[in-house]
Amino acid sequence: MKIAVDAMGGDYAPEAIVEGSVLAAREFKIPIILTGISHRVYQELEKYEDWKHLGIEVEHADEVVEMHDSPSKVIRSKKKSSIKIGVDLVKKGEASAFVSAGNTGAVLAYSTIILRPLKGVDRPAIAVQLPTAKGTSILLDAGANVDCKTNQLFQFGIMGHAYAKYILGNDNPGVGLLSIGEEDGKGNETTKEAFKLLKKSHINFIGNIEGKEVYRGNADVIVCDGFTGNVALKISESLAEMIGGSLKNLFKTGMTTKLSYMLLKPHLAELKKKVDYSEKGGAPLLGINGVCIIAHGSSSPKAIKNAVYQAHLFVDKRINEHICEDIENNLDGKGSLWQHIKEIVAGPEDYPKDPETSEETSDPSKN
């Protein structure tokens, strides 16, 4: 199993990316293909005496996608970028997974276009691990799909469930739908319909959860559209930043507070680490034919090492097979997703009866 890594993507590329890849190859014995401007990548690799013995290869890319490039422009004009080359390696089967800390929109666009969504999945979603009072929850979609249909929210539930079960090892993860009230009928038009679908699925759907429940950790998986998910994550970062800043100012106010800061310092560092979700290494793009891990733009070497390990886990645990099975189970098994969709669209009374099982549909006047 080789993992392709975008050497040129991220705020500290290529230094931090190459270092992180070296660390991963060394520690986990995972062979890595670095994609990027080859002379730059080799220049970085030469910093590590043992790199040639770690199973690291370099695949040349002519171009670099900048963080601010628009994905649609990238697809039209940058056809030999390190991102495109990396995704192509997965498509050709030369790599089992791709890791990038680069332009998320471009990674998403290429993965969707080249690898294609899994059968039964409309579009891939970005799933992030959130630190909670009880441990870790998964939130998806974190921003891949700004306008979501009911069906997509349902698919996010199935995919998040597979992530929690097969990657995090939670046997029976509780899946909640992010909404504005806990009661069944609360939500916007899309969540109200998605609620009905999720309730009929075979996964452990625990109903609506409010924003105030998120960090309490009562839902192992939190389903939402990508607009809400992105706002929820970014506003969390923003609040944590403000509280951190206020604490910092507080510690500076006088001798007693300075003293207490000295006493607390090691504990605070630990707390910060716990709350910082970039420590997790990366967010998988769930629902594509292949494994693709999106690392934080400001990834440190350690974050890249963790992202490579996570990519390895996703391949090893065959997450996509499980997602396909679960979607399939809800299509034709007891859950019969499409049946439910038809019922919801038509309403239970208007729903036409099956002619093979119902006598009422045969019209006697025609005899």
User: CA 258 to CA 247: how far, in whole Å?
Assistant: 11
Closest separation in Å from C-beta 146 to a copy of itself? 4
Give, in order, the Cα–Cα distances in Å from 281 to each of 23, 295, 307: 13, 6, 4
Distance in Å, CB of 74 to a copy of itself, minimum? 14
Residues with Cβ within 8 Å of 165's Cβ and at least 6 positions away in sequence, in order, are 171, 172, 173, 322
Nearer to a copy of itself, 112 or 137 (CB): 137
Judged by CB, which is closer to a copy of itself: 189, or 359? Answer: 189
**Nearest CB to a copy of itself, comparing residues 119 and 134:** 134
Provide the minimum distance between the beta carbon of 3 and a copy of itself in the complex, in angstroms, as a whole number: 29
Name the residues that contact a copy of itself, by CB under 8 A.
132-133, 143, 146-147, 178-180, 187-189, 191, 210-216, 224, 226-228, 230-243, 245-247, 250, 253, 256-257, 259-261, 263-264, 267-268, 271, 274-275
Cβ at position 49, least distance to a copy of itself in Å: 40
Cβ neighbours for 49, distance < 8 A, ≥ 6 positions apart: none
Helix (H, G, I), strand (E, B) or coil at 70: coil
Alpha-carbon span 95 to 87, nearest angstrom: 9
Query: Least distance to a copy of itself from the beta carbon of 153, Å?
Result: 13
Structure tokens of 222? 């939190």
Report the residue number, 276 or 316, with the smaller CB distance to a copy of itself. 276
**Residue among 60, 83, 86 nearest 4 (CA):** 86
User: Residue 118 has which token pair?
Assistant: 């899994």
Nearer of residues 77 and 188 to a copy of itself, judged by Cβ:
188
CA angle 237, 108, 148 (to 5 degrees): 75
Q: Considering beta carbons, is residue 236 or 299 the nearer one to a copy of itself?
A: 236
Cα separation, 146 vs 71, in Å, equals: 15
CB of 168 to a copy of itself, least distance (A): 19
Q: How far is the CB of 9 from a copy of itself (least distance, A)?
A: 18
Question: Minimum Å distance from CB 151 to a copy of itself?
Answer: 17
Write the CA distances from 99 to 33, 82, 102, 103, integer angstroms: 10, 11, 9, 12
Residue placing its CB nearer to a copy of itself in the complex, 185 or 352? 185
| Residue written as token pair 């990508």 | 226
Residues 50 and 21 sit within 8 Å (Cβ to Cβ): no
Which is nearer to a copy of itself, 238 or 361 (by Cβ)? Answer: 238
The closest alpha carbon to 10, from 82, 79, 113, 73, belongs to: 82
Count of beta carbons in the 10 Å neighbourhood of residue 333: 12
